[in-house]
Amino acid sequence: MWHFHPIPRPVMLSGVYTAFSRDIAADYVFRGETHDFYELVLVTQGRVGVTADANSFVLEAGSAILHPPREFHSLHGVGAPASFIIFSFSAERMPVFTHFRFAVSDENMQRAARALDIFRTHTPAENEEIGDVPEGEERAVQQALCELEILLLTLTEKTQKTQHDASAGARNYRRALRVIEENLTEPLDTATLARLAHMSPSLLKKTFSRYAGVGVMEYIRTRKINFAIPLLRAGKSVKEIAADLGFSDAGYFSTVFRRITGHSPTYYRRGY
């Protein structure tokens, strides 16, 4: 008698949003963002500064970082030109990692380059976003997706090629984020945050420009919206959350929420 043995699939991707490579200058800053899907950054040359929520790292060539959904992240140059590859994707299943920084083998770097080349060749792309898969290109694109799944399956959780950013700027950034977290329900402005973080307003703005890639107030609004999402999923009303987070009214909260997430608050209250 034949016995069926189901094969576990710890990594199962459902689709790709972006796939691109970029060469950056020493003073480059990637605009900070947060979204509902994963983003994998692989450093191919040089060194790259990465912000992941309140953490700042310097990644060397041959290393990677995986940003989980809703993590605020940014990227910047660290004094010399560098290169990287980025894939952003949704997943039905993903391993549980101890941390999200990895050493990447030469084989996996080649795998990433192959996947990138296939996506570029067989899918239309505009502004680095993958378009609909044209008829007849499904097999090629599935091959790229499989390459990406194998890469994720074989990532090695090592941190030899990454280091915490111990600079004064990174320390200032972490201190400002702690103040924001402690006052998330308050109507913070730039001057108040600077005073509480023991920084001048100009230094505060410069710090966020480098490490967050967005202005201070935009970061605060983004953090408030991310904080609101689990409350919406738990069934709390939009009006209550808006009041708790210091928004002037529920309508303005909903407008900001849609601009940052691309969805209305109701979308998350329905369990998405």
**Confidence band for 104, pLDDT divided at 50, 70 and 90:** very high
pLDDT tens for 145-154 read: 999 999 999 9
Q: Is residue 36 pLDDT above 60, yes or no?
A: yes
Could you report the per-residue pLDDT of 130-145, keeping only the tens digit for each? 878 888 888 988 999 9
pLDDT at residue 161 greater than cutoff 60: no
DSSP 58-83: EEETTEEEEEPTT--EEEEE-SS-EE
| Inter-residue contact 155 to 104 (CB < 8 Å) | yes
Taking 70 as the threshold, does the pLDDT of residue 120 lie above it? Answer: yes
Distance CA 30, CA 74 (A): 6
Residue 62 CA to residue 43 CA, distance in Å, equals 6
User: In sequence order, what DSSP letters do the residues of 89-130 get, joined into one string?
Assistant: EEEEE----SSSEEE--HHHHHHHHHHHHHHHHHS-EETTEE
